[in-house]
């Protein structure tokens, strides 16, 4: 089914249109890894469900050499990403994934588990984007998301702004991607 903008009114109408989707299972096999997940499922998650200080983890995604090469050939064709023989002579001593590949993996985990299916409106961007260490073939990664701020919008009373610290980590806790995401999220009941 192609994505459509949610109807303007009512959570029930949105849920009916999108069907029942929860964050406990995704088609790619990733899952919640933390001791707790959101109390509200993705098809009933609104601004009020994002609490500052809460941390969630989702994964794992195994990154293969072929994944790295395929992505880079299409989107970032530099030899440190596409040519294993050349990459051995480079500054990282071997093949590494494009930073944009790690960003794509992170976005898949965020969309599959963290964002609301009914109330996520858009993102005006990210801040502090960094790739502190390389993502390598054979790494298995997970997303760690911490809500650092959730505040009602000053100009639009039907939504709030959620800022989240996002990190993509390997099994040995090496950070391969980090940024602060900003999301606009509808209130459950804007009239209240």
Q: Tens of pLDDT along the chain (192 residues)? A: 232 333 333 444 333 333 333 335 567 789 999 777 999 999 999 999 999 999 999 999 999 999 999 999 999 999 999 999 999 999 999 999 999 999 999 999 999 999 999 999 999 999 999 999 999 999 999 999 999 999 999 999 999 999 999 999 999 999 999 999 999 999 998 876
CB 117 within 8 A of CB 43: yes
From CA 172, how far away is CA 8, in angstroms rounded?
44
Q: Before 60, cis peptide (omega within 30)?
A: yes
Helix axes 99-109, 65-75, angle to 10 degrees: 110
Number of H helices, E strands in the chain: 5, 6
Which pLDDT does position 20 carry in this prediction?
33
Pick 23-186's CATH classification: 3.20.20.70, 3.40.50.10490, 2.60.120.10, 3.10.129.10: 3.10.129.10
CB 178 within 8 A of CB 132: yes
Instruction: Report the b/e string of 177-186 with b at 16+ CB within 10 A.
Output: bbbbbbbbbb
Tokens of 32: 């919640």
Strand, coil or helix: 173? coil
Strand, coil or helix: 189? coil
Which pLDDT does position 36 carry in this prediction?
78
What one-character-per-residue DSSP string does 98-148 give? -HHHHHHHHHHHIIIIIS-TTTEEEEEEEEEEE--S---TT-EEEEEEEEE
pTM of the model as a whole:
0.85
CA-wise closest residue to 61 among 154, 140, 174, 167:
140
């Amino acid at each position: 089914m192609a994505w459509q903008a949610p109807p303007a009114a009512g959570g029930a109408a949105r849920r009916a249109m999108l069907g029942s989707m929860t964050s406990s299972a995704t088609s790619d096999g990733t899952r919640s890894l933390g001791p707790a997940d959101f109390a509200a499922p993705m098809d009933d998650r609104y601004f009020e469900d994002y609490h500052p200080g809460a941390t969630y983890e989702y994964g794992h995604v195994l990154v293969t050499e072929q994944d790295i090469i395929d992505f880079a050939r299409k989107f970032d064709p530099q030899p440190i990403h596409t040519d294993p023989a050349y990459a051995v002579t480079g500054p990282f001593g071997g093949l590494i994934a494009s930073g944009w590949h790690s960003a794509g993996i992170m976005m898949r985990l965020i969309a599959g588990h963290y964002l609301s299916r009914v109330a996520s409106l858009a993102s005006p961007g990210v801040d502090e984007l960094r790739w502190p260490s390389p993502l390598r073939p054979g790494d298995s990664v997970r997303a760690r998301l911490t809500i650092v701020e959730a505040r009602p919008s000053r100009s639009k009373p039907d939504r709030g702004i959620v800022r989240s610290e996002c990190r993509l980590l390997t099994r040995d806790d090496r950070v391969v991607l980090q940024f602060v995401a900003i999301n606009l999220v509808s209130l459950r009941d804007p009239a209240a």
